[in-house]
Structure 1
Amino acid sequence: MHHTIASRAGIVGPAPAGRTRGITGAVYGAVRGTTRLVGHAADALFGALPHGGEADHRSPRREATIAALNGVWGDHLAETANPLALPMRLRSEGRALALNAASLAALPRPPHGRRLLVLVHGLCMNDLQWQRKGHDHGCWLARELGYTPLYLHYNTGRHVSQNGRDLAALLERLVAGWPVPVDELVLLGHSMGGLIARSACHAATQSDQAWLSSLKALVFLGTPHHGAALERGGRLVDALFGFSPYAAPIGRVGTSRSAGITDLRFGNLQDADWQGRERRDQRHDDRQPTPLPTGVPAYALAGTLARTLPERAPRLRDRLIGDGLVSPASALGDHDDPALALALPAAHRRVLTDCSHWDLLDRPEAAAQLCDWLR
């Protein structure tokens, strides 16, 4: 930016090539060298710390901070083998589960324990955050319907299709290692978590995995099946920053957001939805159709900040903003293209009014609706 100003570049157009020289160039070089040394020292320190185990039970604040970091830059953390990159695992009460028969047999389970509920959190979140205002859908459904709740913990900055493939493999191990035959498996996804669940079903179908035969229901809470307006707006902001050579360096900070976030532009589920191009270049909804698994009922709960549901077409504000992040149309799977629309029956979809994206995690009406659907 200093070089652009010194070069007296125009207000619009490409930035002049190169960096400042002389004294200012030496100062910036020293800053870069210092931060590089600090970065190497931090890498060495993090590498020396124990990680991957559960001996040091982490605080909710630390868990939330690392989850947010992974949501924003998780793909970079994973590609550089950074110890802060979260591995995918199933957890119970915040502790990782070893997916073998002996460890799984030691879990506290309802009688018989043949009904499994796997909860998949959303972007920048973690499994502990299913607990909100004293309520946890997993514990509620365990008490009301006898499910055994297990919570997925994963790096939300990776591509949805990568996480979906890993979840499918994890569920294959879970069902195979469960101490008793699994009569019923339910996947409950909040926000991005619903996309991960759908992607896992697609991966399991492609590789003919056995766990899919145990899947009895898919439940989505505020899932952006057809993307979120906020990420599409982010692409436009990136483009606007690119018009001016003075703003371009600032714009590069925004374009560093993770693959998981850019997948939310249109709701990418497959590798084919993003491979073969720079992921930030997806300008149109050109996804491959990813149908729901055959014979598995699916349910969608959406929220809207509006206090009442409109009798006719919703206002533009409500269509765009919805629950603050996801529009009702996207959360319910509606789409103009029949190949992309989920076409859920009316009894399998509901919109809660005066409800934010996170209110879906603790609203009494949401919990009651889950019970009605799964009962």
Structure 2
Amino acid sequence: MLLETMAVVAVGVPALPAALAWLENRRSGDWLLQRRLCGGRLASALLRAFLDSVWTLWCTALALPFGRLCSGHGLATGTGPAVILVHGLYHNPAAWFVLRRRLARAGFADVRCYGYPSFGRPFGDIVSGLEELVRRAALEVPDGRVALVGHSLGGLVIRAACGPLAQADAGHGVRIAGVATLGAPHRGSVLAARLGVGRLARGLAPGGEVLEAVRGLPPCPGPALSLYTPTDCMVQPLSGALLEGRELSAGWTERAVPPVSHVGLLYSARVHAEVLAFLTSLR
């Protein structure tokens, strides 16, 4: 009985956002973009992404208690900018345990994680905490260069920090080497309005306070890369994951990755290869 209940929960939890995403993409017409990005095989792509979401969501939940173990830095020796990883909503630095190992093997000497709570702390305070970490990291690397990678909400935290930071610290030691975001809701997600728990989550809805705060700040300059999956069930509709014109004008590159789930972006070898290639180009 217990195993049956666990199996139902394991499948049911990711099934709800998957169903809502399908409905929202049909309503908005974004399913046409989905189908094109999936090579015309939308049904099989959605099935693969759903199965991916089942194991990645529960893998993520099991990893949460080990977040503190992922907060250190200096896992490898090599050259390049300091790299700061910023997790998404309801997560902690444990989100990065796979990518950190791959970065270490690639020779990135200084990889740090920025952690923040999903409840009780205003978005502006979370952004200020990242700005502080970026300045501290810049002081500890020879040329002051810092690269940032963010998943989901983490991508918006980076955007909010790096635009003003690049302007305020120009000539004062901080150099934003580059930015990469994974599945960031650049235009918001209606799922946040429907099921979001907490002020921070609700702020991710289109027109929400988090989205409006980011839009009210200077754009983060390139080089910058935004990766998204056409089968994202958390960013709804799919167009919510697309960049707006001012980021594209500021030097951002936008690219769809092969179909995976929203959380699966944290574990995908193909996604990690894209991130590693981007970071390596910054050396």
The question of a shared fold, defined as TM-score above 0.5 by the shorter chain, is answered with yes
Query: In the TM superposition, what are the counterparts of 1:235-274 in structure 2 within 5 Å?
Result: 257-266=197-206, 268-269=209-210, 273=212
Task: Give the CA deviation at 1:148.
Answer: 2.2
In structure 1, distance between residues paired with 2:252 and 2:201? 31
2:99 — aligned with what? 137
Structure 1: state its 5+ residue gaps: 1-59, 68-90, 98-106, 235-253, 275-286, 306-322
Task: Give the CA deviation at 1:233.
Answer: 3.0
2:203 is the alignment partner of 1:298: no
Distance 1:298 1:344, change over 3 A: farther
2:81 — aligned with what? 115
1:330 — aligned with what? 240
In structure 2, distance between residues paired with 1:347 and 1:203? 16
Distance 1:346 1:324, change over 3 A: farther
> Does structure 1 conserve the Cα–Cα contact (< 8 Å) formed by 2:82 and 2:137?
no
Structure 2: state its 5+ residue gaps: 1-59
Q: Percent identity at matched positions?
A: 25
2:126 is the alignment partner of 1:163: yes
Distance 1:269 1:233, change over 3 A: closer
Query: What letter corresponds to residue 153 of structure 1 in structure 2?
Result: G
- TM-score using structure 2 length: 0.65
Q: How many residues align?
A: 218
1:14 — aligned with what? none
Q: Tell me: higher relative CO, structure 1 or 2? Use CA pairs within 8 A at least 6 residues apart.
A: 2
Task: Give the CA deviation at 1:342.
Answer: 2.3
2:70 — aligned with what? 94
SS in 1 for 2:191: helix
Task: Give the CA deviation at 1:212.
Answer: 7.3
1:318 — aligned with what? none
2:36 — aligned with what? none
In structure 1, distance between residues paired with 2:180 and 2:76? 22
- TM-score using structure 1 length: 0.50
Task: Give the CA deviation at 1:349.
Answer: 1.9
Distance 1:353 1:63, change over 3 A: closer
Give RMSD over aligned pairs. Answer: 3.3
> Does structure 2 conserve the Cα–Cα contact (< 8 Å) formed by 1:117 and 1:149?
yes
Distance 1:137 1:332, change over 3 A: farther
In structure 2, distance between residues paired with 1:162 and 1:289? 16
Distance 1:302 1:210, change over 3 A: same
Task: Give the CA deviation at 1:364.
Answer: 1.8
In structure 2, distance between residues paired with 1:298 and 1:333? 11
2:254 is the alignment partner of 1:349: yes
Task: Give the CA deviation at 1:95.
Answer: 4.8
> Does structure 2 conserve the Cα–Cα contact (< 8 Å) formed by 1:228 and 1:330?
yes
Distance 1:195 1:212, change over 3 A: farther
1:371 — aligned with what? 276
In structure 1, distance between residues paired with 2:276 and 2:63? 29
SS in 2 for 1:122: coil
Distance 1:212 1:227, change over 3 A: farther
In structure 1, distance between residues paired with 2:278 and 2:166? 24
1:175 — aligned with what? 138
Task: Give the CA deviation at 1:114.
Answer: 4.7
2:178 — aligned with what? 217
2:146 is the alignment partner of 1:185: yes
Where in structure 1 do 4 or more consecutive aligned residues deviate above 6 Å? Answer: 60-63, 209-212, 344-347
In structure 2, distance between residues paired with 1:363 and 1:211? 37
Query: What letter corresponds to residue 153 of structure 2 in structure 1?
Result: M
In structure 1, distance between residues paired with 2:128 and 2:172? 13
